[in-house]
Structure 1
């Protein structure tokens, strides 16, 4: 995985290779920890049963441009109050290769030029087969970086690229959520968020067996970690980044995964992660499960930061994830995937017509 940080490289890449993928990830947790959300725009949905079927049959249509999608998850106190994962037709989507501008169906993400600030605006508007509805307007705002966080990085090399665009952002906006089983709600949102951009020129499982990722916003710095395990080696990286997203304060070179367990789907995951350097120690407890699928998990986790020479200790809550991409290709799990993803080219799965069932599918 080639890791770099450059908001100028956040536009869609000029690629449409077989099995490729690209996604723009946004998340945030409210200041009082009550609300959180994750929104991901995909060009080439790597979890799509339709995409994988085309890839397995060596079809010329097994290209990311044919399978755009968006996933939207909104949580209150760790429980889902809105969920959707929708794959649209390519004709209903747009990915600008000149600037960060993405349209997936009625949903939009775009960069906004503001002097001295890096600012993204997201708009959502959707009605599901279940009757659940969402409208949202969200802004991610941070200082404009003057340089890349990571030195000696060449984003042009490698089959898999991770652009850490906005480790820390101030997030404001609103959600309007309603449905047949819930009262209409207007949620004003204010908190801290995160944005990155992943690109692959081949399927994920070609590069790694699994990965752990997470981010936590401490009072003086942001922790981001990316732990990738391959068959023969590993790429474990973790950083404390200053609040202006301009400097790596500390790189945590030593990693330990503990307290492994298996889920009902047979997914084996470590629930405790230790990150260390000479001066800094972080313990991450992957606690509250937000999503628990056959090949991935999402947590609302707790991180405990200790800076030894300053006698400093702080705890914060943040979002972490685990994924094992090879399991996506196991046909045994496809019926569960079909419940989860709405393919607009097909009729909705019967589960997707019941709001309570669909929100709690996994």
Structure 2
């Protein structure tokens, strides 16, 4: 990987009973790390020295959020395995198994247990997100089943899941000012992904894709763009696309100084859907005040 570059794997799921949700991101070159941003300014930005597992739990149980950054001495990686400190991701014949052992911040508590993702089909194609082709997105398992079995806190559930990856050869904030992203599960089990990014030079990039559990993918006619209420705490702008502007925020999951994650009720191609949605402001992320705040939620424990 190039200095200043990044690679991440993203997983999310919402339980069949509607009571629980999870997101997990494994970073090599942690794009939202204040320590990696500082290393880039100093000219010492080695992606493998800024790695982390970010996991967030949502729903009826107490919410938990963890993201501890670690160094190259805590990273092991080969074609099928990624180990970051005490947590590990393993790709096998049946899909992905995640062994979690993370500590939340700023108030410490444990997230420990196993997540299993079983793809219904794998997607082979990657998509460029910018005209310079420095940032790429691959929807690895857009339709999947996920089983969550956590000893701490005590949680067991299963639901519809999703997995993708992003890779870039430059810092994310060098390429983009803002983006909205969502993935919606539809009544027949299809997944619709909407990816809309504003680049640093103000050019727009939009992807509107529908994946089915048998491995098929097709373009979706972009629905009408609509604004959503700004986030309550940090006033982050959010927007999406839906039939006749009929998307609504069911729940704000994470509200931070530079991004907001939400659960939406939406309607696409005449069908209702439930969507994970994210709005990200890289301009906010670059501000000095945000960089100074981030270590309280992202401690660093590096060796090597």
**Scaled by the length of structure 1, what TM-score is found?**
0.75
Confirm or deny: 8 A CA contact 2:121 2:143 kept in the other structure: no
Confirm or deny: 8 A CA contact 2:225 2:245 kept in the other structure: no
Corresponding residue for 1:196? Answer: 164
Q: CA deviation at 1:106?
A: 0.9
Q: How many residues align?
A: 298
1:26 corresponds to 2:11: yes
Distance 2:264 2:280 in 1: 16
Alignment of 1:233-272 (within 5 A): 233-244=203-214, 246-259=215-228, 261=230, 264-270=233-239
Q: CA deviation at 1:275?
A: 4.1
Confirm or deny: 8 A CA contact 2:114 2:148 kept in the other structure: yes
Corresponding residue for 1:305? Answer: 268
Aligned match for 1:86, one of 35, 59, 68: 68
Corresponding residue for 2:99? Answer: 123
Q: CA deviation at 1:133?
A: 1.4
Distance 1:266 1:91 in 2: 38
Confirm or deny: 8 A CA contact 1:26 1:39 kept in the other structure: yes
Corresponding residue for 2:186? Answer: 218
Structure 2 alignment gaps of length 5 or more: none
Structure 1 alignment gaps of length 5 or more: 1-14, 179-185, 308-312, 347-362
Q: Residue 259 and residue 125 in structure 1: after superposition, are their counterparts in 2 closer, same or farther (change >3 A)?
A: closer
Q: CA deviation at 1:335?
A: 3.1
Aligned match for 2:111, one of 134, 146, 169: 134
Q: CA deviation at 1:190?
A: 0.8
Confirm or deny: 8 A CA contact 1:108 1:123 kept in the other structure: yes
Secondary structure of 2:173's aligned partner: helix
Corresponding residue for 2:143? Answer: 168
Q: CA deviation at 1:292?
A: 0.9
Distance 2:169 2:264 in 1: 31
Distance 2:56 2:192 in 1: 22
Aligned match for 2:47, one of 64, 67, 77: 64
Alignment of 1:276-291 (within 5 A): 283-291=246-254
Q: CA deviation at 1:253?
A: 3.1
Secondary structure of 2:257's aligned partner: coil
Confirm or deny: 8 A CA contact 2:266 2:274 kept in the other structure: yes
Confirm or deny: 8 A CA contact 2:228 2:237 kept in the other structure: no
Distance 2:103 2:296 in 1: 17
Report runs of 4+ in structure 1 exceeding 6 Å deviation: none
Q: CA deviation at 1:209?
A: 1.3
Corresponding residue for 1:44? Answer: 29
Aligned match for 1:341, one of 298, 301, 304: 298
Secondary structure of 1:342's aligned partner: coil
Distance 2:109 2:160 in 1: 26
Corresponding residue for 1:332? Answer: 289
Confirm or deny: 8 A CA contact 1:44 1:66 kept in the other structure: yes
Distance 1:102 1:206 in 2: 27
CA RMSD after TM alignment:
2.6
1:321 corresponds to 2:295: no
Distance 1:127 1:63 in 2: 24
Confirm or deny: 8 A CA contact 1:51 1:62 kept in the other structure: yes
Q: CA deviation at 1:120?
A: 0.8
Secondary structure of 2:247's aligned partner: strand
- Higher Rg: 1
Q: CA deviation at 1:39?
A: 0.8
Secondary structure of 2:157's aligned partner: strand
**Scaled by the length of structure 2, what TM-score is found?**
0.88
